């Protein structure tokens, strides 16, 4: 499954998906955690999300979608005892642009690093990064492991006047 953060990401994603015949079933959705937060939460709650080996989020700018979807999926994994879902992010933007740099940093620096990064610790980037992830899934290779979660408790009323 591929989730674009915006309709403007769709041409890049479709070009990669149509560049060859994939044996892997590919479904593309569009959902912005900034513009459609309830839709993104609802998507993460769907039981069919667990049938995918990997959910790939694709987008640019301050790309929070992989981390937000991962957080909601983790919540449903714990509360509804669902299967663990693996997420990866692919940063889009013109090479050297602020958009691309922001998306790469947003993916790489998700607190706790719960999404899959490249073996060198960087974000997957551009059409090449998407193709690399799809080929990894197609071959059935083991996914690079994200860091294990640490769950510090929420702290309320830590200061007020």
- Band (pLDDT 50/70/90 cuts) for residue 38 is very high
Alpha-helical (H) ranges within the chain are 10-17, 37-45, 65-80, 98-108, 126-139
For the chain, the C-alpha Rg in angstroms (whole number) is: 16
- Band (pLDDT 50/70/90 cuts) for residue 120 is very high
**pTM for the model:** 0.88
Q: List, in order of start, the domains of the chain with CATH numbers.
A: 2-139 (3.40.50.1970)
Q: Max CA-CA distance within the chain?
A: 62
pLDDT in tens, 6-26: 999 999 999 999 999 999 889
pLDDT in tens, 76-106: 888 887 788 889 999 999 999 999 999 999 9
């Amino acid at each position: 499954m591929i989730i674009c953060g915006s309709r403007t990401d769709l041409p890049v994603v479709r070009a990669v998906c149509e560049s060859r015949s994939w044996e892997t079933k590919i479904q593309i959705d569009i959902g912005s955690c900034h513009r459609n937060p309830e839709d993104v939460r609802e998507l993460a709650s769907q039981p069919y999300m667990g049938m995918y080996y990997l959910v790939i989020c694709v987008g640019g700018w301050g790309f929070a979608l992989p981390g937000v979807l991962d957080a909601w999926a983790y919540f449903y994994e714990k509360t509804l005892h669902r299967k663990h879902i693996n997420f990866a992010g692919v940063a889009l933007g013109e090479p050297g642009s602020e958009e691309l740099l922001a998306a790469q940093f947003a993916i790489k620096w998700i607190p706790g690093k719960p999404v899959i990064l490249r073996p060198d610790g960087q974000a997957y980037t551009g059409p090449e990064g998407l193709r690399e992830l799809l080929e990894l899934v197609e071959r059935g290779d083991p996914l690079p492991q994200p860091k294990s979660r640490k769950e510090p408790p929420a702290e309320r009323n830590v200061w007020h006047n």
